[in-house]
Amino acid sequence: MIFEEKKISGERIYQGKILSVRKDLVTAVNGQAYREIVEHGGAVAMVAVTEDDKIIMVRQYRYACGRAVLEIPAGKIDPGEKDPVAVAHRELKEETGYSASSVTHLGDVNPSCGYSEEVIHIYLMKGLTAGEQEPDEDEALEVLELPFDEVYAKAVNGEIADAKTMAALLMAKERR
């Protein structure tokens, strides 16, 4: 039997623009323990596939990693946004310029379930039409079209380290 922890009390210890952190006291198998939890409003990630089986990828510098990262388009769900599909359409357009006529929900992932509540909703997007990028003012994105099998191989051999991209490619492999 798995012991289910229950919250006894909690306090917010950090409130930021895109995430907050709280410290909860919980019941634990041997009494009580503290859990530090990252609160995040969620995100979407898109495997956007062209008619010739290429994936729309973005490369951007990720400060936390200290390097440029190759990943699928993605973005956070802003406060007040209720429909992750609408967010996926918005983020695909903003980051890549592409619009999609077909959207399939592939699944949801918890990128770090040991300390974060974040959920990323992953979508397969097809029927793409190219357009102009509309990135956020602090974003610098290089948009690439790469063969699906090439990107998948990069994920398998460790050239792609982004967890949401790896999970999304695994989900999309048989359904593209």
Give the span between the Cα atoms of 95 and 59, in whole angstroms: 10
Mean pLDDT of 147-167: 96
Mean pLDDT estimate for the chain: 96
Mean pLDDT of 139-165: 96
Residue in 51, 132, 137, 174 annotated catalytic: 137
Residue 45 clears pLDDT 90, i.e. is over it: yes
Mean pLDDT of 70-84: 96
Helices (H) and strands (E) in the chain, counts: 3, 10
- The H-or-E segment that residue 92 falls in is helix 84-96
Mean pLDDT of 44-73: 97
Give the span between the Cα atoms of 80 and 84, in whole angstroms: 11
Residue 135 is predicted with a pLDDT of: 79
Residue 1 is predicted with a pLDDT of: 77
Mean pLDDT of 151-163: 96
Tell me the CA end-to-end span of the chain in Å, nearest whole number: 39
137 is catalytic: yes
Strands 67-71 and 74-76: unpaired
**pTM given for the model:** 0.94
Give 100-142 pLDDT, tens digit per residue: 999 999 999 999 999 999 999 999 999 999 999 987 888 899 9
Higher pLDDT, 138 or 159: 159
**Total residue length of the chain:** 176
Residue 134 is predicted with a pLDDT of: 85
